[in-house]
Amino acid sequence: MDGGDYSVAGGVEDVYGEDAASMDQPVTPWTVSVASGYSLMRDPRHNKGLAFTEKERDAHYLRGLLPPVVLTQELQEKKLMHNLRQYQVPLQRYMALMDLQERNERLFYKLLVDNVEELLPVVYTPTVGEACQKYGSIFRRPQGLYVSLKEKGKILEVLKNWPQRSVQVIVVTDGERILGLGDLGCQGMGIPVGKLSLYTALGGVRPSACLPITIDVGTNNEKLLNDEFYIGLRQRRATGQEYAELLHEFMSAVKQNYGEKVLIQFEDFANHNAFELLARYSSSHLVFNDDIQGTASVVLAGLLAALRLLGGTLADHRFLFLGAGEAGTGIAELIALEMSKQTGNPIEENRKKIWLVDSRGLIVDSRKESLQHFKKPWAHEHEPVKELVDAVKAIKPTVLIGTSGVGKQFTKEVVEAMAALNEKPLIMALSNPTSQAEWTAEEAYTWSEGRAIFASGSPFDPFEYDGKVFVPGQANNAYIFPGFGLGVIISGAIRVHDDMLLAASEALALQVTEEHYEKGLIYPPFSDIRKISANIAAKVAAKAYELGLASHLPQPKDLVKYAESCMYSPKYRTYR
């Protein structure tokens, strides 16, 4: 594509010519053959329900299959939002939305795009967590692709059963660490499905390019093993060589089937496999671990934005983490890397400003021998400290970040210790879902007497304290991965590089305005997410070009406009 012409989008593969046509130009609703009549209405990619026009009803053998009325997509949206709001139980909303996705894909995405702040907590954290826990009981139609130990030796055949050929992003889990809810085995499928619906709604990657996959190697969750409605393999988890071989077959099959440029996002693997898989495949595949890298990028963005409130540079601050796993050490490492970029100091020096606490207390040098490899760089010289509150008093952090997966860990005592040390204590509770959050928005503003800068992984409602309404920001990797993935796709990047994560952080931080700061926010609202994602995509793509990792040439002149032009629009198309 010519770098200056944005009337025809071409970055994200446009198999059916939907984007190549302008909005008022008719397109053909392709399946393998032309879909018509009953099968057209039953195909979620093409179904419009009552919005099929008179002309379409004639041309596509729909007469009599629908009642006479013709609705606009806007009216359908209004009706569905009204219906959704009638449900008091979040899981009912989730089920209604999943049914819609299976029935009328464009209408589902139209709802998500137009009502992102209201519906994000339904298709994503916290409700998706409950949905995964009860996935067997609420299961109606399968979504995504299941690869289990039964398919060993046949994974390529399994991939070929997926109906779409033009896959650009895969989100894959093995279900061992679903949010902070632990091992949910095969029922973790709700996570790749939810993440990919955000790739489309928030990042504009077309639905047909998205493939959710769950790898089922068993589960160690006794409750699920004894649950008569459990949908997965009823056996304990495969480990060691058996696990590694299955994963290797999967990674090879993906490359063989979809080529080099399919982005594989690892999601909610337990840390003993997550770090290993990322290290093993990052030089041969286009891989990204959302929990390690996406989370790091979103938190760094929040910190960069917060510096405007806190003062100083990143290197002037001291950081303490509760939780030293994927999220904690991933964030810590990206902060240290950014400090190095800013100061020129070696990364080892910067790491000394960052401390982590795990389930055994502060990570210190005397524990080094027994630490998992990803914790070792954080074992600084200090006497052992068991309790978080004592670690706060000893380390005197300016920033406290919760990545433990355990709720209610930031007690009043901990918060008061932070507030005694800092005029504006920055305290993030990243753990999901809401039940696992280290503290709540109400606790944050009350215990700190309105001084804390608060952000959380799952959403909290605004809270009024002392006459002022504080709007809690959501520090969730959902800000990053959709735009990051779009940037990778539009540039045709062949590998993920840490500098691309830094570029994403910078792009997100730049979207925070004075108006947001005044409300207590260090992230922009999700209602602007498509614009935010386009900016992230542009910066990520620009970095990929700069690093020589981009294969989509020539580089478009205006990458923001180009990213926007590549985004999927959920508006109905007219059928000829």
Ligand X SMILES: NC(=O)C1=CN([C@@H]2O[C@H](COP(=O)(O)OP(=O)(O)OC[C@H]3O[C@@H](n4cnc5c(N)ncnc54)[C@H](OP(=O)(O)O)[C@@H]3O)[C@@H](O)[C@H]2O)C=CC1
What's the CA gap between 209 and 76, in Å, rounded? 25
Q: Which residues are 400's β-sheet partners?
A: 320, 427
Binding ligand PYR (rule: CB under 6 A), the pick from 105, 291, 358, 438 is: 291
Residue 174 within binding range of Mg ion, rule CB under 5 A: no
Catalytic residue among 48, 134, 195, 539: 195
Over the window 249 to 278, marking each residue x when it contacts Mg ion by CB under 5 A and - when it does not, the resulting string is: -------------------x----------
Q: Which residues are 361's β-sheet partners?
A: 358
Residue 432 within binding range of ligand PYR, rule CB under 6 A: yes
Catalytic residue among 94, 124, 465, 562: 124
Largest CA distance in the chain: 79
Given the structure tokens 């994000």, which residue do they identify?
120
Residue 179 within binding range of ligand PYR, rule CB under 6 A: yes
Which residue spans within 33-141 are E strands per DSSP?
none
Shorter beta-carbon distance to ligand PYR: residue 291 or 358 = 291
CB of 263 to ligand PYR, least distance (A): 16
Per the annotation, the verdict on 543 as an active-site residue is no
Which residue spans within 223-367 are E strands per DSSP?
263-266, 287-289, 319-322, 354-358, 361-362
Which residue spans within 196-277 are E strands per DSSP?
210-216, 263-266
- Rounded to the nearest 10°, the torsion over CA 49, 54, 58, 62 is 20
Helix spans in 344-452 (H)? 347-351, 388-395, 412-421, 441-447
Size of the site for ligand PYR (CB under 6 A): 9
Return the ∠ at Cα 15 (arms to 13 and 21), rounded to 5°. Answer: 95
Per the annotation, the verdict on 258 as an active-site residue is no
Residue 290 marked as a ligand binder: no
Binding Mg ion (rule: CB under 5 A), the pick from 216, 291, 443, 506 is: 291
Sign of CA dihedral 231, 287, 478, 552: negative
Shorter beta-carbon distance to Mg ion: residue 269 or 445 = 269
| Among Mg ion, ligand X, ligand PYR, none, partner that 443 touches (CB below 5 to 8 angstroms by kind) | none
Measured between alpha carbons, how far is residue 271 from residues 177, 212, 253, 476 in Å?
Answer: 8, 20, 24, 18
Q: What is the DSSP letter of 126?
A: T
What's the CA gap between 444 and 429, in Å, rounded? 10
What's the CA gap between 302 and 428, in Å, rounded? 10
Residues 50-89 that bind Mg ion (CB under 5 A): none
Residue 404 within binding range of ligand PYR, rule CB under 6 A: no
List the structure tokens of 16.
């059916």
| Among ligand X, Mg ion, ligand PYR, none, partner that 516 touches (CB below 5 to 8 angstroms by kind) | none
Residue 530 marked as a ligand binder: no
Residue 271 within binding range of ligand PYR, rule CB under 6 A: no
Measured between alpha carbons, how far is residue 568 from residues 106, 161, 467 in Å?
Answer: 10, 25, 42
Given the structure tokens 């809810």, which residue do they identify?
181
Shorter beta-carbon distance to Mg ion: residue 269 or 447 = 269
Residue 2 marked as a ligand binder: no
Pairing between strand 354-358 and 319-322?
A: parallel
Shorter beta-carbon distance to ligand PYR: residue 179 or 537 = 179
CB of 186 to Mg ion, least distance (A): 17
Shorter beta-carbon distance to ligand PYR: residue 19 or 268 = 268
Residue 271 marked as a ligand binder: no
Residue 291 marked as a ligand binder: yes
Which residue, 116, 108, 9, is CA-closest to 530? 116
Shorter beta-carbon distance to Mg ion: residue 56 or 268 = 268
Q: Which residues bind to ligand X, rule: CB under 6 A?
A: 177, 179-180, 271, 291, 295, 298, 322-328, 357-360, 403-406, 409, 430-432, 436, 457, 475-477
Give the footprint of ligand PYR on this chain (CB under 6 A).
125, 179, 268, 290-291, 432, 457, 476-477
Q: Per the annotation, where are the binding residues?
A: 177, 267-268, 291, 432, 476
- Residues identified as active-site: 124, 195
Q: Per the annotation, where are the binding residues for a divalent metal cation?
A: 267-268, 291
Q: Per the annotation, where are the binding residues for (S)-malate?
A: 177, 432, 476
Give the footprint of Mg ion on this chain (CB under 5 A).
268, 291
